[in-house]
Amino acid sequence: MYDEDSLPESPPEIPPEGPPDNGPEGCGPILPGAGKDAKPLRQQVFEHVRAAGRAARADVARALGISAGSVTVLTSDLIGVGLLREVESPPRDSTSSRGRPPVALEVVPEGRRVIGIKLSDERHSAVLTDFAGNMLRDATLPTAPFRKTLDQILDEIAELMAALLAGSGFSLSDIAAVGIGLSGLVEHVAGVVPWSPQLSGRDLPLKSAFEARFAVPVHVDNDANVLTLAELWFGAGRAMSDFAVVTIEQGVGMGMVLNNRLFRGTRGLGLELGHTKVHLDGALCRCGQRGCLEAYLADYALAREASTALGRSVRNLQSPQAMLETLFGEAKAGNQAARTIFRRAGRYLSVGLSNVIQLFDPELIILSGERMRYDYLYADEVLAEMRGLTLSDGRPPCRVEIHAWGDLVWARGASALALSSVTDSVLGGAA
């Protein structure tokens, strides 16, 4: 049972621009790829420098296990095409001033620029990012919470990108690629959306329609995947080979990094944790099926029960988010019906997390999304039940961290999607 102290007086503040970078400067995974998926050596050198922020040639040689001569040749080429540049590096011994200043390498940030976009039920967000991963500008656009046609969503994207670029000195012709994250089922390679709660219709060709209208390459993915990329490129997952991200907002999503790579499944439709079944013939999910995990955890599911607990009509004009704020306040004040809703949601989450651990054995699970402002989803009782449902055989339990980031981190993850693709395009062809 939850006690009175398990509900805080006020929810924690949400950082406005995503996870802090507690490691070295730079962006992108710190651990290199390996095996049959290893990238061309030229690209590995570039990505190591970008991940480190700044790196000496000797450091690159040691990290990649190649000769100093190879690094010299490869970096000279990258400097020649304007992707890397030399900068002075502070000496290891700050008391010494003799000799030539040590030289390091860094990415030329002006080399390419990308846009990352997160489409949401109530507001869209976007960031403009340079080739070094620095966020240059951001913008948000309120949107009505109803399903849009493909043309309507493209109109909103156009308005959002115009707001982002206004006064920046750049136009769409200066953008190398755009990344978009949205909820639902997304075929990443084809850029087709089989189903999304934000769009009306099925099997919508978002990628081809976007590129036909804006003449800019676009890469589309599920929003949980782009949030996972944000952790892999900018956050806690940079130095991890295996971790999971579970998101709880308007829906329930999941992203997974295995062997330092984002896992999508055969068609990019894998890891739909929110639509795994936890109760046969259970609550109705917005996907049209019953018993999905999302139907017990997502905003609309909790608001549906909140209308009963608070005695509100289902026709009440209060938004789901406002309804949840009211419900949480009632729970803190001791309303047993409100507290029961939260306890039930927490128990279903413990079932979902235990299944993730049992299937994938990740080093870390990151719980993220706006609902992580509410501690009912990570109370000690929830995590204890998660561990109790997992066959750990006395081994240390999987770590769970709470990242209650704001909207822009999703857009930053979408920018990482675009950066990754542009990097592959520019550097992936030469061994």
pLDDT per position in the chain (431 positions), as tens? 344 444 444 444 434 444 444 434 789 988 765 555 578 999 999 999 999 999 999 999 999 999 999 999 999 999 999 999 999 876 555 555 555 667 999 999 999 999 999 999 889 999 999 999 999 999 999 998 889 999 999 999 999 999 999 999 999 999 999 999 999 899 999 999 999 989 999 999 999 999 999 999 999 999 999 999 999 999 989 989 899 999 887 788 899 999 888 998 877 667 889 889 998 888 888 888 999 999 988 888 888 888 777 776 655 556 677 778 888 888 888 888 888 888 888 899 999 999 999 999 999 999 987 777 777 667 788 888 999 999 877 788 899 998 866 779 999 999 999 999 999 999 986 44
Residues 222 and 115 in one domain: yes
Residues 322 and 367 in one domain: yes
185-191-193 Cα angle (round to 5): 30
DSSP state of 240: -
pLDDT for the residue 13: 40
CB contact at 8 A, 351 and 272: no
Distance CA 194, CA 272 (A): 13
Q: Which of 82, 110, 138 is the last residue of a domain?
A: 110
Supply the CATH number for residue 50's domain: 1.10.10.10
Give the type of residue at 133: G
Residues 303 and 321 in one domain: yes
Distance set, CA 30 to CA 50, 220, 238, 271, 311 (Å):
9, 24, 5, 24, 51
Residues 370 and 398 in one domain: yes
Residue 343 lies in a domain: yes
At 179, is the secondary structure helix, strand, or coil? strand
Residues 258 and 390 in one domain: yes
CB contact at 8 A, 421 and 178: no
Question: Which residues sit opposite 114 in a β-bridge?
Answer: 129, 177
Distance set, CA 260 to CA 232, 256, 362, 377, 421 (Å):
8, 10, 12, 27, 16
Distance CA 364, CA 49 (A): 26
C-alpha neighbours within 13 Å on the C-beta side of residue 262? 27
Short-list 180, 176, 197, CA closest to 188: 180
DSSP state of 36: G
The residue count of the chain comes to: 431
Residues 165 and 80 in one domain: no
Q: Which of 44, 75, 110 is the last residue of a domain?
A: 110
Residues 261 and 390 in one domain: yes
Short-list 410, 420, 374, CA closest to 11: 374
Report how many domains make up the chain. 3
Residue 24 lies in a domain: no
Residues 202 and 319 in one domain: no
Residue 43 lies in a domain: yes
Residues 121 and 225 in one domain: yes
Distance CA 29, CA 229 (A): 9
Residue 284 lies in a domain: yes
Q: Which two tokens stand for residue 275?
A: 């639509």
At 124, is the secondary structure helix, strand, or coil? strand
Spacing of C-alpha 197 from chain mean position: 18
List, in sequence order, every beta strand (DSSP E) within 133-292. Answer: 135-142, 177-182, 185-187, 192-195, 218-222, 243-248, 252-258, 261-263
pLDDT for the residue 65: 94
pLDDT for the residue 405: 66
Residues 179 and 133 in one domain: yes
Residue 25 lies in a domain: no
pLDDT for the residue 2: 40
CB contact at 8 A, 188 and 220: yes
Distance CA 211, CA 409 (A): 24
Residues 180 and 328 in one domain: no
Q: At which residue do the structure tokens 């128990």 appear?
A: 347
Residues 278 and 400 in one domain: yes
Supply the CATH number for residue 318's domain: 3.30.420.40
- Domain of 210, in residue numbers: 111-229+409-427
Q: At which residue do the structure tokens 């036909």 appear?
A: 212
What pTM did the predictor assign? 0.84
CB contact at 8 A, 252 and 359: no
pLDDT for the residue 318: 62
Q: Which two tokens stand for residue 405?
A: 């980031």
Residue 323 lies in a domain: yes
CB-CB neighbours of 187 under 10 Å = 20
Residue 125 lies in a domain: yes
Distance CA 390, CA 380 (A): 16
